[in-house]
Amino acid sequence: MKRLLFVFLITIMLFTLTCCGTKADKTSQSTNTNDTSMISQTEQKNETEEITETKIEEGEENLDSGIFNFETKTVMLNSGYEMPIMGLGTYSLDYDTCVSSVTALLDNDGRLIDTAYMYHNEDAVGYAIRTSDVPREEIFVTTKLYPNQYSDAANAIDEALERMGLDYIDLMLLHHPGTDDVKAYQAMEQAVQDGKIRSIGLSNWYIEELEEFLPQVTIMPAVVQNEIHPYYQEIDVVPYIQEHGIVVEGWYPFGGRGYTKELLQNETISAIANSHGVTSAQVILRWNLQRGVVVIPGSSNPDHIAENLDIFGFELTEDEMEQIKGLNRDEKHDWY
C-alpha cells in the first residue's frame, strides 16, 4: 500500500512540473513577440551573433527595452543594444564642418551621431570616429539608405560601410517610404545576420505607413525617426510607435533651419528656460527626453554642441511639460 501511495505521489509531482514548464515557455514566447508575424532582433541575434558588452546576454529577456535611463543617458533598444538618448545631427554639414562637429560632440562626451547617404558626409563622420580617442564600441552611429538605393540595398550597405571606413553600423534606417522599401529592409535584416549592422529602423513612417509595413517584415524596427518639435509634436504617433516597443527619435528638434529663431524665442519656452536658468534649446531637448523621444539636434557650433549635451542637470515639471504640449500646431516644417 505504501509503495502504491509513493508511486501515486511521484506521478502527481511529475504532472505538476510538466504543466508549469509549458506555461513558462508560453509566457516567454508572448513577451518576446509583439505580433505573431514578427520576431525581435534579440531573438534573431541570439542564434548567430557574438555578445558584446552593450548587448544583453543570450536568452535574457530585454525587459528594459524602450525605457530611458537618465543616469547612463541611454535607452535599451529592442535589438538588445544600448543607444544614447542625446546626440548630433549632421544634415547639411560639409566635410570639414562635419568632422569638427562630430569631434566636438565626442570631446564633450556625446556618443550618438546621425548621418545619411543623402547628407554626403558619411565619409566625414567615419573619419571623425576613426581618428577619435573614443573607442569605437562607445560610439553609436546611425546612417540611412535613400530610396534611390532600395533596389540594390545590399550593395548600398557595403558601400556605406566602405565610405565610413567602419566594420559595422550601429543603426541603419530607411530614409523614406518608397518603391522596394520592403526589399531594402530585408537586405538590412540580412546585414544584421551578417554582423554588418546592429539595429535597423525606419524614418518618416507614420501610423498608416507602419500598419502596412510592419506585417511584411521579420525584425521589428528598433527606431523610427520622424519630424518632432514643439510645433509638430506627433501627439498620437509617438505613443503608437512606443507601444510597439520601438524607440522614437525626433528630427528638427529646433524646427529646422529657417524656423529655429521663432521656436527658440517662443515666450512659453523662454519663460520656462529662465525659471531653470537654462536656454530655450536645452528646454526643448529636455522636453523631448521626458516624453521618451531621442534627440539629434544639428549644429556646426562647438559651443551649441556642448550646450545641447548639458540637459541632465534640470527637470521639467508636469505643468511645464503640459505648457509645451499646448504649443502644438501640427505645423510640419518639411514635406515628408
Ligand X SMILES: NC(=O)c1ccc[n+]([C@@H]2O[C@H](COP(=O)([O-])OP(=O)(O)OC[C@H]3O[C@@H](n4cnc5c(N)ncnc54)[C@H](OP(=O)(O)O)[C@@H]3O)[C@@H](O)[C@H]2O)c1
Give the residue among 333, 331, 244 at the shortest CA–CA distance from 66: 244
> Which stretches of the chain are DSSP H helices?
2-32, 41-48, 95-107, 122-130, 153-164, 181-193, 207-213, 237-243, 260-264, 267-276, 280-290, 302-309, 318-325
Minimum CB separation from ligand X for residue 26, in Å?
Answer: 39
Minimum CB separation from ligand X for residue 256, in Å?
Answer: 4
Closest CB to ligand X among residues 42, 90: 90
Asked if 140 contacts 166 with a C-beta cutoff of 8 angstroms, the reply is no
Minimum CB separation from ligand X for residue 13, in Å?
Answer: 58
Cell of 263: 521656436
Asked if 153 contacts 145 with a C-beta cutoff of 8 angstroms, the reply is yes
Cα dist from 182 to 77, 241, 243, whole Å: 21, 18, 22
Asked if 90 contacts 119 with a C-beta cutoff of 8 angstroms, the reply is yes
Cα dist from 257 to 12, 84, 162, 232, 290, whole Å: 71, 24, 30, 15, 24
Catalytic residue among 119, 127, 150, 232: 119
Q: Which residue is nearest to ligand X, using beta carbons?
A: 298
Minimum CB separation from ligand X for residue 303, in Å?
Answer: 8
Closest CB to ligand X among residues 127, 205: 205
The single-letter DSSP state of residue 246 is P
Closest CB to ligand X among residues 172, 281: 281
- Give one DSSP letter per residue of 18-81, joined into a string: HHHHHHHHHHHHHHH-SSTT-B-HHHHHHHHPPP-TTSPPTT---TTBT-EETTTTEEE-TTS-
Binding residues vs ligand X (CB under 6 A): 89-91, 114, 175, 203-204, 225, 251-257, 260, 264, 281, 296-301, 304, 307-308
Closest CB to ligand X among residues 113, 166: 113
Closest CB to ligand X among residues 126, 256: 256
Cα dist from 223 to 39, 142, 175, whole Å: 15, 10, 12
Handedness of CA 242, 313, 112, 266 (dihedral sign): positive
How far is Cα 301 from Cα 287, in angstroms, rounded to an integer?
22
Minimum CB separation from ligand X for residue 187, in Å?
Answer: 19
The single-letter DSSP state of residue 232 is B
The single-letter DSSP state of residue 221 is P
Minimum CB separation from ligand X for residue 14, in Å?
Answer: 56
Minimum CB separation from ligand X for residue 157, in Å?
Answer: 17
Quickly tell me which residue has 534573431 as its cell: 44
State the CB neighbour count (10 A cutoff) for residue 164: 21
Annotated active-site residue 119? The verdict is yes
Closest CB to ligand X among residues 56, 295: 295
Residues carrying an active site annotation: 119
